[in-house]
Chains A and B, each alone.
Chain A
């Protein structure tokens, strides 16, 4: 399923991708004719004002939703041909997520939250890997704490460890610093890029933080659902 030479083929690609929703006032265009190809190992920032369609695009690229029209490729698969369950199987263990609101399970400890996707992917060394990644994000001391007992920054560190723990090919991040203060946010960004660099993961993130966008190799800007590629700074 994986292309023979990852550098040659886009790991994520969109062709004439559009998303429309029906409203009482007729169809509302959220995304219009987006063309995009991301190669393995690339880092891409999707920026734009609130309501410009950033998160919708991220959801579509990650296979969480179906587009109204256009073609989508993820990890060499044509997503148009897959139903929701097939897309879920494709994601398992190969795609990581980091969310603005962290999305940790409240009943599980920091370590167990990292363990969850590893167990889902059926990794035999799940426990060791989870402990290893907890160490990588620097909060081993908090292993037994539940999310309620962690600060926002600590919660996001757990979330980042969880995203990378399965050695995914792509990590999608949705406003990863949106709920954090500037200092904490900066440290989270450092951590994210550091891990990404060492794991050679493709990173696609949504942000309206210019500093964060500037650290990505590529940047696309959405205005009312239309895409502009911005030259790298």
Chain B
């Protein structure tokens, strides 16, 4: 018989052994988690690449805050669109929407699909709706209680909803349902009267054609554009988004790798025990004439079979799970993503085999080299297997894997460092906790005392189990807290009369009417602040970037247009930190927010230049002030002295508090001022929360793998100590211990372990939450009493159950039979 067949035969006969099962299970969990994220990431990346030029809807896109009238000579296909936000209303319902007013040529590349109902695939057709009609995103309909065919109001013009946008270029899905898409005709924008001087608008100019004329055109155009205008090639468009996604994807893959790491720990422990239990078998086979090479074949075949089986099952689970994940992250686009790719199968298979090989080869190499003499001299110890060899080998194998998957050495170094740090802290905490357990153990008696003694005696095992399970519980709890707690506690510390609506895009001629409306309905509102959008371009006549050290140049404040305002009264919640508030002086003086001043190294007396539209504006910094950003008032980085912005088109912004019994006023406001955008902060926050919940929910799904891997570690370590436990149990039974006594001692051991893991995880989660709350939201730490109840309970339940199921057999064996089995 060849040893391939023999290996398979023996494997089949031993398939119900605990070690093989744990090994297989751990492998399935680890590979499943890697495959899930791998598959989904690959599908999204391919969706992006496949869209190519379709992504922009054109080969070249120019975006500008104002119309561009002069273009270089060209013979390219063109399309123009205007994009802006506005309210869409039906009856008393109203909703903010992103409107794109298009011409008949849109889109130049790719297609727009229009359906009769939401969630239908629709048919490809131009985005230009029939006269008097609009196409809307499916998410808009329930928000307006509307259906296709209904009449809705945009600004001062009525429109009929003629269809639902099922697909458009550049859209992967409506993660951000903040302002759903509406397509309308460019020649019907004027009728809405939404666009006023100072309104926030993007003029989108699209071009398509042969590569060469496109390049000539692009080169000629570029110098003509100012800092507020952008030129985007189809490749850059995709690459920008793709880059952002690839970065996010890396972190998600690393999360999956934590599960794989825990699985590897479980595999290493199970493989170690498997080897220990098979030294006799290997020695016997050597007696029967098997050579080292033949034994190597035998065990390699077994390992490879398990590796393939576990990896393939893991990949199958990953393929099923990734669709669930896709539906959570991209509810609209999940069905339109490309089919499962083959590349992640390879990655998952290699990581599975690598993890298995790294974790189990050291143990199996020892097995192959066993002396046949062991059959005669049972006391002959198997070659000692230092645990650290397994750990080191599988650790380096995984490090290679992490580096390969992440393709980012720095990230890997940080990741490994953080993980090692966390592991060290956990081990330290686990040790300390076990020391505490010693005190409790001394006070206890009976089976509880014995159970705790077991926990303390197998100190290495207990530390590993405690560490692994604490890690899993901690990460799960942390995400749950971040999801539910942070936004809540931030909201809770807002005063009850904090503004909850923003009124945006108030035209100058409307300001008096709006003020009167608010007063009439006794709505508590902030001042009306005129708003002009401009970009900071220079400091003391030098380009602003040149005045900064290289690492400070990539600053969000420099990349986007700022909202500029003027006022003579220092807004509430603003405090002057340096210089003097300009008051009603009418000269070129500004006040700058302190954070911005710090980031851009600005001081009182500096002169700043702004580009506003096609004009340049310059002013001296008269004061630096702090702003309370979470006050829900309109807040500004830069405030001019009165009169400085008068010549510029400005719309105004205000915040207002609308109490629950005043809410009926709002539909009246929207009807009276259809061009004004009403932003509901509650909705905004709820939207952000929903997006947050989607993404965190997806990560929590991955943490399910982590929790399962943590349990696999617990089971593997318990299996490793099963023989010794059995021996002890037999001894205790012969000494008169009842079966129930043994059961109680086992339960006390595992429940204690689970409780400790839950407590440790609670400590870690509280500390982490306090840090996050402080750093991100500047909130004081807040205890979470339920955490201290839920985590230990969950830990006791999960560890108790897996521990009991693994070890209960030792209470069942009658002492006589056990003694014989131990022979």
Question: What is A's interface to B at a CB cutoff of 8 Å?
Answer: 55, 58-59, 62, 64-65, 84-85, 88-95, 97, 99, 101, 103, 105, 107-108, 112, 116-117, 119-122, 126, 148, 152, 174, 179
Given contacts A88-B286, A103-B284, 13 further A-B contacts (CB under 8 A): A58-B376, A64-B287, A88-B291, A91-B289, A92-B289, A94-B289, A95-B289, A107-B10, A107-B14, A108-B10, A108-B13, A116-B288, A119-B1
Contacts of A89 in B (CB 8 A): 289, 291
Which segment, of B250-258, B367-375, B585-593, B801-809, faces chain A? Answer: B367-375
- The number of chain B residues with a CB under 8 A from chain A is 29
A120 contacts B285, C-beta separation under 8 Å: yes
Q: Tell me, yes or no, whether B378 is within 8 Å of chain A by CB.
A: yes
Q: Tell me, yes or no, whether B239 is within 8 Å of chain A by CB.
A: no
| A174 touching B376 in the complex, CB below 8 Å, given contacts A120-B285, A148-B821 | yes
Q: Tell me, yes or no, whether B485 is within 8 Å of chain A by CB.
A: no
Contacts of A59 in B (CB 8 A): 373, 376-377
B134-146 interface code vs A (CB 8 A; 1 in, 0 out): 0000000000000
Q: Tell me, yes or no, whether B281 is within 8 Å of chain A by CB.
A: yes
- Cα–Cα, bound, A221→B240 (Å): 87
Contacts of B376 in A (CB 8 A): 55, 58-59, 64, 99, 174
**How far is the CB of B376 from the nearest CB of chain A, in Å?**
5
A119 contacts B6, C-beta separation under 8 Å: yes
A-B contact count (CB 8 A): 77
Contacts of B549 in A (CB 8 A): none
Q: Is the interface of B mostly helix, strand, loop or mixed?
A: helix
* 16 A–B contacts, CB within 8 A, in A order: A55-B377, A62-B287, A64-B375, A65-B373, A88-B372, A89-B289, A90-B289, A91-B287, A94-B289, A103-B280, A103-B284, A119-B1, A119-B6, A120-B289, A121-B289, A148-B821
Contacts of A105 in B (CB 8 A): 10, 281, 284
B292 contacts A85, C-beta separation under 8 Å: yes
Contacts of A91 in B (CB 8 A): 287-289
**How far is the CB of B426 from the nearest CB of chain A, in Å?**
37
Ranked nearest first, the 6 interchain pairs of A and B with the lowest CB-CB distance are: A92-B289, A119-B1, A85-B291, A91-B289, A107-B13, A107-B14
Contacts of B9 in A (CB 8 A): 119
A84 contacts B292, C-beta separation under 8 Å: yes
A92 contacts B377, C-beta separation under 8 Å: no
Question: What is B's interface to A at a CB cutoff of 8 Å?
Answer: 1, 6, 9-10, 13-14, 17, 280-281, 284-293, 371-373, 375-378, 820-821, 823
B17 contacts A107, C-beta separation under 8 Å: yes
A117 contacts B10, C-beta separation under 8 Å: no
Contacts of A152 in B (CB 8 A): 820
Residue of B nearest to A146 (CB): B13
A99 contacts B1, C-beta separation under 8 Å: no
Contacts of A101 in B (CB 8 A): 378, 823
With beta carbons under 8 angstroms apart, the residue of B13, B285, B373 that contacts A64 is: B373
Contacts of A148 in B (CB 8 A): 821
A97 contacts B1, C-beta separation under 8 Å: no
**How far is the CB of B12 from the nearest CB of chain A, in Å?**
9
Contacts of B286 in A (CB 8 A): 64, 88
Residue of A nearest to B6 (CB): A119
Looking at B281, B287, B821, B823, the one whose CB has the most chain A CB atoms below 10 A away is B287
Contacts of B288 in A (CB 8 A): 91-92, 97, 116-117, 120
Looking at A65, A85, A101, the one whose CB has the most chain B CB atoms below 10 A away is A85
- Cα–Cα, bound, A62→B373 (Å): 10
Contacts of B289 in A (CB 8 A): 88-95, 117, 120-121
**How far is the CB of A109 from the nearest CB of chain B, in Å?**
8
Residue of B nearest to A55 (CB): B376
Residue of B nearest to A104 (CB): B284
- Cα–Cα, bound, A14→B747 (Å): 58
A64 contacts B14, C-beta separation under 8 Å: no
**How far is the CB of B812 from the nearest CB of chain A, in Å?**
14
Contacts of B293 in A (CB 8 A): 85
- Cα–Cα, bound, A84→B17 (Å): 30
- Cα–Cα, bound, A176→B377 (Å): 14
B823 contacts A97, C-beta separation under 8 Å: no
Contacts of A92 in B (CB 8 A): 288-290
**How far is the CB of B305 from the nearest CB of chain A, in Å?**
16
Looking at B13, B281, B376, B821, the one whose CB has the most chain A CB atoms below 10 A away is B376
A122 contacts B373, C-beta separation under 8 Å: no
Residue of A nearest to B821 (CB): A148
Contacts of A94 in B (CB 8 A): 289
**How far is the CB of B702 from the nearest CB of chain A, in Å?**
36
